[in-house]
Amino acid sequence: MEAKYRGVRIAQIKDWLNVVLFLVVALIGISCRTQVVQAADISSNITGISGQDARYNGQPIDPTEVAKWDQSTSYELSYHFTIKPGTQVKAGDTATVSLPTGTKFQDDQDFDLPSPDGTIVAHFSATTGASSGQLTFTNYFTTHNNNMTGSINLFVNGEVSGGGKGNDSYILKNGFPWSGQWSDGKTYPKDANQRYQYVEWDVKINPNNKSLSNVVVTDNLQNTGSQELMPDTLTLQWDDGHYTPVPIRDYSLIFSPASGTPTSFTLNWKGTLNKAVNLLYLAKVTDSAYRTTGSATTLNNEAKITGNDAGWWGDHRQGCHGGCIRQIGRQW
């Protein structure tokens, strides 16, 4: 009888333990759920991130001037943002940074914003062609919340085709900031302040696959006090989607001046060019104000093509009687 009673008590104790354990687990679950914090869009609590807040060369944006900005030039915009006092900035919170009307990102943006002590404050990202980007904050301002401010520099392009210079189916060009591994296998990184140290210049020759002869392409770097041509990075690739190198036997290349740091080069094509070619190279940003403080800088280059278009008669048959040659001379 005693053994049976003790067995009942043990069973009851086990039942109570199960209930207690269930309650403990349930409470733990509730506690965990109450601690989950959702990231929020805090754009409305931040000033200085709209397109109207952008600065160019330290001055407010002039819409009439921006309307003249071209697609082939990189323009550096600066923003200085302030988060309203009392705002709780949590890791994962986001804010939208808008570009001025008439500007866009030429390539994907993906970089960190460091604080003066080197701690990452936020990450910025944007996609090619977009007119806005996103800041994703860390927990930095959770503990550094007395003066929640920051700065960001962005490189953008305008919308005007060709920058007022000739552009048709013979030559195109583009330029944008560069960081990462180049075709030579070397890495060209940003500096310790996460500023770009290099700019990539791209020249597309014969983009419409015309039949061209006596082709000569010259490229003159502009703003040579702010950028320096890096001849060892120059590469030619067929525009075939596979980055196939163009054989050296197909062209000759002369840099000028012959001694010292070159500021221009001339490409002579051997034979007939009937496919599109991409010419790419890097220039090192040497603007002292930009490298020291991150202040705005404008960089450009000038590309020109001359030669003969033997297939031009295909679009202009009248009077050609089987064929005619058009001399071309285009500058971009």
CATH number at residue 105: 2.60.40.1280
Both tokens of residue 15? 């039942």
- Examine the domain organization and report whether 24 and 144 are in the same domain: no
**For residue 212, is pLDDT > 50?**
yes
| Distance between CA atoms of residues 123 and 99, nearest Å | 17
- Examine the domain organization and report whether 7 and 56 are in the same domain: no
- Examine the domain organization and report whether 142 and 193 are in the same domain: no
- Examine the domain organization and report whether 147 and 282 are in the same domain: no
- Examine the domain organization and report whether 150 and 198 are in the same domain: no
Give tens-digit pLDDT for 279-330.
999 999 999 988 888 777 778 888 999 999 876 444 444 444 444 556 676 6
Q: Which residue has the higher pLDDT, 205 or 174?
A: 205
Q: What is the pTM of this model?
A: 0.55
257 prior amide bond cis, ω within 30: yes
Q: What residue type is assigned to position 306 of the chain?
A: T
Give tens-digit pLDDT for 6-19.
444 444 444 544 44
DSSP states of 206-230 as a string? Answer: STT---EEEEEEEEEES-TTTEEEE
- The DSSP element (H or E) to which 22 belongs, if any, is helix 2-35
In which domain, by residue range, is 51 found?
Answer: 38-164
Sign of the torsion angle spanned by Cα atoms 186, 295, 160, 217:
negative
Among 149, 164, 179, identify where a domain stops: 164
- Examine the domain organization and report whether 152 and 176 are in the same domain: no
Are the CB atoms for 217 and 203 separated by under 8 Å?
A: yes
Sign of the torsion angle spanned by Cα atoms 233, 239, 243, 248:
negative
Distance of CA 51 to the CA centre of its chain: 18
- Examine the domain organization and report whether 30 and 62 are in the same domain: no
